[in-house]
Amino acid sequence: MSNNKLKFLFAIVLTAVISAGITFAVVQKGTGVSGAERTGDDPFEKLYSTYDTLQGEFYQNTNEEKLVDGAIKGMLQSLGDPYSAYMDQEEAKGFNENISSSFEGIGAEVQESDGKIMIVSPIKGSPAEKAGLKPKDKILKVDDKSVEGMTVNEAVMLIRGEKGSKVQLVIERDGVGQLDFNLTRDTIPLETVYTETENGIGKIQITKFSETTGKELADALNELNDQNVKGLVLDLRQNPGGLLDQAIAMSDIFVPKGKTIMQIENKNGTKEVQKSQNDSAVNVPVVVVVDNGTASAAEIMAGALHQSAGIPIVGEKTFGKGTIQTAKSFEDGSSIKYTIAKWLTPDGSWIHKKGIEPQHKASLPAYANLPYLNPEKELKQGDSSAEVKAAQQMLQALGYEDIKTEGFFEETTKKAVTRFQSENNLSQTGTIKGETTIKMLELLQAKLKENDTQMSKALEVLNEQMK
């Protein structure tokens, strides 16, 4: 990376941010549904008539605000678009906090998919990530309350809560079935960019695209430049996306001037082409790592860097979100967010529900997909459940290979648990609970970090480029 170019990197980012549109911006304000003359041709006559009828004839007193909110909510739901929704004051506040500042909750991006609330990606360091929630997990219940038929915002308001409070989720995972998760809510931090170096290689992990991410990336690149790194790995795994302007600004750092970053296809079919405005500030080899939790703005960046800067992609097929949203706020603090356009990769491809295929495929070890075990729940001899099977698979991954993994806690499992407890200075109860569960999870996470096969593949590809 050139020192002269990186010297002005932050200014480049700010310029791109100011000049670009954003995915989830509050673009305008209004007072609600505009009035119209009530004529026979008025398309809102049926709506007005229903409102008047309920106000005058419903057997109980009606709430004017709730009736209007319900009508607006129904309009958004009728679009059949999981990314368009009405948000009341509380929901709108939470939505804006998620973009611009830290908030309290479990730290997972969710969306509606085929009538169900689905995890897009957990946020790095969040309770959701630590608990083992995965992309494509479907949330069935929150604290024993079914979320079937709820909007995303309604479900989010149930899941969110004060730091230190607990929430129980019942989720459905493909190939596994139903799983229970007990999480303790926490503050979800502002920081979105993390760096480390290894053998002269700089690793940059971007966890989401918030208002500060462009500056964080600029700072990270300057820091790595000072360390004279020979190559970069850009880690976009488990990144659910966020602000479009940040994705454009950050792609601008890597994509040569004049090259296409993305295309925006509007309702009438016209296309706006977003091109890089600055000379690339990075002149060392780069590799991008993605997985099925890489979505939206993260996919924009991955697609731009590959197609317009020749940067290879390593990992698994991405999530596949190819639409752009904006928001309109009302005077009472409520708002609507709605889809305004498709976005296309530089070559014109629409990746919606398809994702981006990496050129170098790499998956994590099978034990990376094992579900979280609740330390408060005891697993003992005689039990038979999905949790027992998961615990057996964890022990097997940790080197206790003689254990059976059939989901029945029998004598062999008890002996393996007792040996595990002995080797880790734990009380030798022969049951899995509390410190034993926590230690198993900790050791498995440490092993996964040591055996990050996707990162290993990325480094292999990067080293080939550096030759």
* Residues designated as active site: 296, 321, 325
Q: Which of 289, 293, 335, 343 is nearest to 315 (CA)?
A: 289
Phi, psi of 171 (to 5 degrees): -120, 160
Q: Is the dihedral of CA 150, 155, 158, 159 positive or negative?
A: positive
Instruction: Give the span between the Cα atoms of 414 and 161, in whole angstroms.
Output: 38
Beta strand 260-265 pairing with 335-344: antiparallel
Q: How far apart are CA 157 and CA 87, in angstroms?
A: 11
Based on the number of CB atoms within 10 Å of its own CB, is 353 exposed (0-12), middle (13-18) or buried (19 or more)? exposed
Give exposure, 354-380, as e/b (b: 16+ Cβ within 10 Å). ebbebebebebeebbebbbbbbeeebe
CA distance 129 to 70: 34
203/200 Cα distance (integer angstroms): 10
Q: Is 165 left (phi over 0), alpha (psi -120 to 50) or beta?
A: beta
Contact present, 242 and 95 (Cβ < 8 Å): no
Beta strands in 63-155 (DSSP E): 85-87, 103-105, 108-113, 116-122, 138-142, 145-146
Radius of gyration of the chain (CA): 25
Per-residue burial over 422-453, b if 16 or more Cβ lie within 10 Å, else e, is eeeebeebbbbbeebbebbbebbeebbeeebe
